[in-house]
Structure 1
């Protein structure tokens, strides 16, 4: 797991975060709280889930999107949601819970694991680009293709600089790791959806939000 080497993005250990639901069914809220609380045994923070718009974190239930501000960047958003979660039916409960834990990982300051400074994914970039509708030649991009290429580099290809990061060893089991398809890589590398917090996830956050001695 890793985070940008910027302490201001981390919350203050011991802090209680008010987490407001802007909308959503009771089933959605209950499932969200249950999944998010998996982080609590490993961090010196408390979550106070409330209704309405007054919260450090504001969750919007909306189809088709999972996203979150990184750490205290949430405080920069005044009149909008800081996290968006895609409600799912109970038959997809494990998938929904995994995505909630992932987005709460971002809320705690973590970035995507496949861009960890020590990640060693053997990308087949031409194949990766092709499967996302791009060529291997960025100079051929129109504006939409250029934006897509930048997003793919941000999410997958560009590893963080060690000097600008705080990180643990690359962890293929991290809840912050995206699925990697075998056809995107060389040598048969692939990574499946992780459904639970890994041991390294827990250890990293325990150091980021330590309990008092």
Structure 2
């Protein structure tokens, strides 16, 4: 797991984060709370879930997207949603929970694991580009292809700079890792959807949000 170092986007340990639901069914809210609370045993933060618009974090139930501001970036706006979650039926409860934990990982300050400073993913960039409808040559790009290329590099290909990052060992099991298809890589490398917090996820966040030492 990793996070940006400068500036740090971690919350102050010991803080209670007020998390507001802007909309959503009771079932959506209950499933979100249940999944998000998987982080709590490992961090010195509290979550207070409330109704309405007044919150450090503001969750919008919205079809078609999972997204979150990273860490304290949520404080940069007081009006817009800071997290969007795609409601799913109980038949897809584990998939929904995994995505909620992923977005709450962002909310806690973590970035995508596939861009970890030491990620050793053996990309087949030609195949990866082709599956997303672009070529190896940026000079072939029109506007939409250029947008696609930038997004692929931001989300997958461009590793973070070690000196600008706080990180633990690269973790293929991290909840923050995207799915990586076998066809996108060289050799025998793929990542399936991680459904639970990994041990390294827990350890990283425990270090980011420590409890005071007993003798303090």
Same-fold call, TM > 0.5?
yes
d(CA) in 2 for partners of 1:200, 1:98: 16
Q: TM-score, normalised by structure 2?
A: 0.98
Residue 164 of structure 1 corresponds to which residue in structure 2?
A: 164
Q: CA deviation at 1:8?
A: 3.8
Equivalent residue for 1:140? Answer: 140
* Runs of 4+ residues deviating >2 angstroms: none
Work out the CA distance in 2 between the residues paired with 1:135 and 1:106.
Answer: 31
Query: How far apart are the structure 1 equivalents of 2:84 and 2:195?
Result: 19
Q: How far apart are 1:77 and its partner, in Å?
A: 1.7
Task: Name the counterpart of 2:75.
Answer: 75
Match of 1:204 in 2: 204
Structure 2: unaligned runs, 5 residues or longer: none
Partner of 2:153: 153
- Are residue 194 (structure 1) and residue 212 (structure 2) matched? no
Where does structure 1 lack aligned partners over 5 or more consecutive residues?
none
Measure, in 2, the Cα distance between the counterparts of 1:51 and 1:14. Answer: 22
CA distance, structure 1, for counterparts of residue 11 and residue 147 of structure 2: 31
2:189 counterpart SS class: coil
SS at match of 2:204: helix
1:63 CA drift (Å): 0.3
Paired residue for 1:28? 28
* CA drift at 1:78: 2.0
- Mapping 1:1-213, distance limit 5 Å: 1-6=1-6, 8-213=8-213
Partner Cα distance (1:19, 1:94) in 2:
22
Aligned-pair distance for 1:144? Answer: 1.1
Shift of 1:7: 5.0
The 1:210/1:7 distance shift into structure 2, 3 A limit, reads farther
- TM-score, with length taken from structure 1: 0.99
